[in-house]
Structure formats: C-alpha cells, structure tokens
Amino acid sequence: MLSKLTRLEVLDVSNNSLLSLSTSGNDVNYSFPQLTTVRFSGCSVRQFPSFFQTSKLQSLDLSNNMISGGISKWEAEGWEGLYLLDLSHNFLTMEQFPGNNLEYLNLDSNLLQGPILSNCFNPKIPILKELTVIIISKNKLTGNIPSSICNLSSPDVLDLSENRLSGTIPDCLGNFIRLETFDLQMNNFIGKIPNSFVNNSGMIHLLLNDNQLEGLVPPSLANCTSLELLNLGNNKLTDRFPRWLASLPSLQILILRFNRFYGSLPHSIASSNFSALRIIDLSGNEFTGTLSTKLLQNLRAMKDKPKKWLYFSTFGAVFFSEGSVFNEIPVNLTTKRLDMELTKTLAIFVSMDLSNNQFCGKIPEDVGQLISLQMLNFSHNNFTGPIPASFGNLVALESLDLSSNKLSGRIPSQITELTFLEVLNVSNNNLVGPIPHGKQFDTFDNDSYIGNSGLCGLPLSKQCVNIEGAKPPTPLSVEHEGSKIAFFWRVVMLGYGSGVVLGLSLG
C-alpha cells in the first residue's frame, strides 16, 4: 500500500508499539521522491528502514525503538540532505552517522562507547560545523572532549551528560556565544571550570554537577544574565558564596550542594535580584553565620505559587514545529529523605536545603512567608531557639527536616494544620513538652522525635505527667441544697468519722 504513495512528503506513525515494519517482498518497488520527513518513534522497529532512502529526506526520527548495531554506508545512501536525526533510546553502538548537513543530532540513551564520535567534530568535514544541537548523553563514552569541538560555529545545545568522559573542560566551550544549554553532568571531569563565559548572555542552563571539578566558581559566569539553572553540586569546588550570583535576575535554580564552600552568606545576596529563585540547595558545605531576614523577605518566587509550567527546552519549537517535543533536564535533589531525580515536576517544585552546614542562631520567623515551599531542610546545623510558629503558614509543605540542631521549646501546635506534610523530622534536638496531635501528625512514628528527652506523648512510650503542680482538692459539697448526691456524701463522711473514733478507742 505504501509503495503506491509516490507523492508522499511526510510519514508519521509514531507511538504505535504494535506496528511491525516489514521490508519483505522483493517485487515491491518503494520510491518516495518527495519524502522529506519520517517519524517512526516508539514503533518497536528493530532495523533501519532502508526503503526510506531518498535524496530529499530532511528529518528522520527513529527514537524509542530497538535498533542495534551501526549504520552502514548503504543504509545511509540518499541521506545527504538530512538535517535532523533522532536515534535516541535504542541499542546503537555505531562509530559514525550519516549526512554532512546535520543541524540536530540526538543519540541519547544508546550503547555508544569509546571516544566521542570523531566525525562529529572532524575539521575535514566543514559542513558539520553547523551542528546546533548535539545530544549524546547516557551512553558509555570515555576519554577527553576532543579539541576539534572548537570547530563548531556556535551550538545552541551541547549535552554530553551521564557518560564516562574525563580530562579537563576545553576553554573554548565558554566562548560559544549562542550556547543556551551546556550539560556535562555525571562524568569524571577534573580541573577548573573555564573562566571564559564573557559573551554568553544567552546561556540558560549550565549543569556541571557530579564531576571532580576544583577551584573557584568562575566570575565570568556573571555575564550569563539569562541563566535560569546553575548546578555545580557534588564537586570539589572551594570558594566563598559567589556574591555576583545576586546579579543574575533570571536565576531560578541554584545548586551548590556537597562542595567545599565556606564562610557566611554575604548581605549582597539579599538583593531583590534573587526574586526568581525557586530552588536553592547549599547542603553539605561549611557555611556559617545566621540567616539573613532580608534574604528571606526577597525570595518572592517562594511566596507565590507558580502560574504556569516551565519546560526546559531550547530547540523543541525550532525542530519540531508540527509536534513540539520537549527536552527535560533532570536535577537531583534530596526530598522526603530520598535522593530523587526531578524532571517535569522541577518546573513547579519549590525547595530550600541548607542542611549539613554550620548555620547558627534562631530560625527567622520570616521563613513562614515562603508559603510555596514544598521541601524545607535545615538539619545538621547549629540552629537554636524555638521552632517558629509561623511554620504553620507553609500550607504547601510536604517535607520538613529540622533534625540534629539545638532547637528548644515546644513543637508549635500550628504545624498540625499542614495537611500536605508527609515527612517530619525534629529528632536530636532539645525539644520539650507533649507532641501535638491531629491530621498529619497522627501518621508520624518514633523516628520523627527521638533524641529529645523532654518530649512526651504518643507515638513515644514516655507518657506526659502533670508538671503544673497538684491542684487543691475539690470541695465535696458543691451541689444545691436538697441534692441527693450531697446528702449521700454527708452520710459517708459521718460514718467515716465514727469509724475512726471507734477504731482508736478499741486500739
């Protein structure tokens, strides 16, 4: 039937998992001289459909299939005009790819191994300089990033994350003026972060987390005024908190977790330019000092619920104008006592994690103004004083961890009004008094409260005793005249007195 559609231009049968692809029947002559776009994503395809060979093919999407092996030359014939190639989520081990005019290349989640495909950045193929989107994440690539990558004119997206790449990051990567998404997370890179981000005002996402990078955070990142996501977590960076971060008006997600940052948070970060921040994770460092009330007051995005979903995509609308496909950037956060990878939910998630530092002083009441917070973690610090009653205003809160501090006083009863609270941990403090009850508080177990010798009541085995002193005895006769109960007690007392006198006499 397909062989009769000789004027076919676009063929899209994506997401039909029960559809089989048959090339049997040598008597059938497939010829599609007008075919430019083929989308066979998610159709259980096991081999390259050779009958799609055509000199006018421009866009080929074979993602989410079961294709293995490589692309031989005969399979690639007629693909010279190809500018979009999506082979993600297959089982490919190829060493080369077809086409010399590619602008979009997606090889995410395959079995590629060894050095990065040399012909991706081969200076002998000058046409490949026009690659604007390069995604080769979640493979088994090893070795260094070749210096020939600098031959690219200026990519929009460069994603080499979740491989086994090593060595240093080439300085030239900071010079790409059109680069919007730069993702090298979860590799084995060493050395310093290049300080060459001079003309990168369009940079939106920078992810260098989970490597072995050292040194300072480069000040040239202050030029990335469009930056929305900065993830430098799980490295070996040694620096004070970068003051210039407050000059990034669009910054929504800041993750510096588990490095070697030290010192107090400067007052400059309390500027209004931090008003877009929705996720801040400074956990696992050596920060000291108290929390700035002014900083908390200026975290405006944490006070207002998100008005719309935000998808981290810089190329979906360009290359998939007929059916938009979004590139979701995962971010790892510790929430609800688990390390979780957030993708879609990242767009509406609001959290603050300052755990495993050396912050001290009282927790400001202004934290209660951050009503959009879903996760709050202040554990393993030196906070003192009572738990602010204003925490009862955090109506969206799902996880609250204040464990391993020096907090004192009672647990505020206002917190029992938090109907979304799933995780509570106030263990290892100096809290006293009865544990409040009601709603979510009736679901928490002993682990939420252990290490507070002054706490009592369920779910702990320690019962609460009356610590207000013994009350005076209640008068026996408080009833009205003529009451049968009052008369009964008079008779009892008369008998009691008579018995005492008689007993003493007999004795």
* DSSP notation for 467-478: -S-PPPPPPS--
One-letter amino acid of 98 = P
The total number of structural domains in the chain stands at: 1
Residue 352 contacts by C-beta under 8 Å, 6 or more apart in sequence?
279, 280, 302, 370, 373, 375, 376, 377
Identify whether 289 is part of a domain.
yes
What does the block give as tokens for 44?
Answer: 């259980």
- Is the residue at 261 inside a domain? yes
Is residue 92 domain-resident? no
In a domain, 355, yes or no: yes
Enter the pTM of the model: 0.84
Give domain status of residue 434, yes or no. Answer: yes
Contact (CB, 8 A) for 130 and 101: yes
pLDDT of residue 154: 80
> In this structure, is residue 43 part of a structural domain?
no
Please tell me the predicted confidence (pLDDT) of residue 14.
Answer: 93
Instruction: Report if residue 361 sits inside a domain.
Output: yes
E strand or H helix that includes residue 135: strand 133-135
Q: What is the DSSP string of 258-300?
A: SS--EEEPPGGGGSGGGGG--EEE--SSEEEEPPPHHHHHT-G
Distances (CA, A) of 388 to 146, 351, 357, 391, 392: 54, 18, 20, 6, 8
Domain extent, residue 374, equals: 240-306+350-470
For the chain, helix (H) and strand (E) counts, in that order, are 4, 33
Name the token pair of 309.
Answer: 């979903």
CA distances from 460 to 111, 379, 405, 406, 417 (A): 52, 21, 20, 20, 21
pLDDT score for 79: 74
Q: What is the DSSP letter of 75?
A: H
Assess if residue 278 is contained within a domain: yes
Position 455 scores a pLDDT of: 92
**What single-letter amino acid sits at 352?**
M
List phi, psi (to 5°) of 295.
Answer: -60, -50
The one-digit pLDDT tens for each residue of the chain (507 residues) are: 777 888 899 999 999 988 776 656 556 677 788 889 999 999 988 887 766 677 788 999 999 999 988 776 556 666 778 899 999 999 998 766 666 788 999 999 999 988 886 656 655 555 566 789 999 999 999 999 988 888 888 899 999 999 999 999 999 888 888 999 999 999 999 999 999 998 888 999 999 999 999 999 999 999 999 999 999 999 999 999 998 888 898 999 999 999 999 999 887 666 656 788 999 999 999 999 999 888 888 888 898 765 443 433 333 333 332 333 334 566 666 655 555 555 544 567 899 999 999 999 999 999 999 999 999 999 999 999 999 999 999 999 999 999 999 999 999 999 999 999 999 999 999 999 999 988 888 889 899 999 999 999 888 888 888 654 444 444 444 444 444 545 445 554 556 566 666 777 776
Note the pLDDT of residue 74. Answer: 55
Instruction: Please check whether residue 132 is in contact with residue 159, taking contact to mean a CB–CB distance below 8 angstroms.
Output: no
DSSP character for 240?
Answer: B
SS3 422: coil
Q: What per-residue confidence (pLDDT) applies to 139?
A: 95
- Cβ atoms of 189 and 169 closer than 8 Å: yes
Q: For the domain that residue 244 is a member of, what is the CATH number?
A: 3.80.10.10
Residue 326 confidence (pLDDT): 35
Token match 């619920």: residue?
305
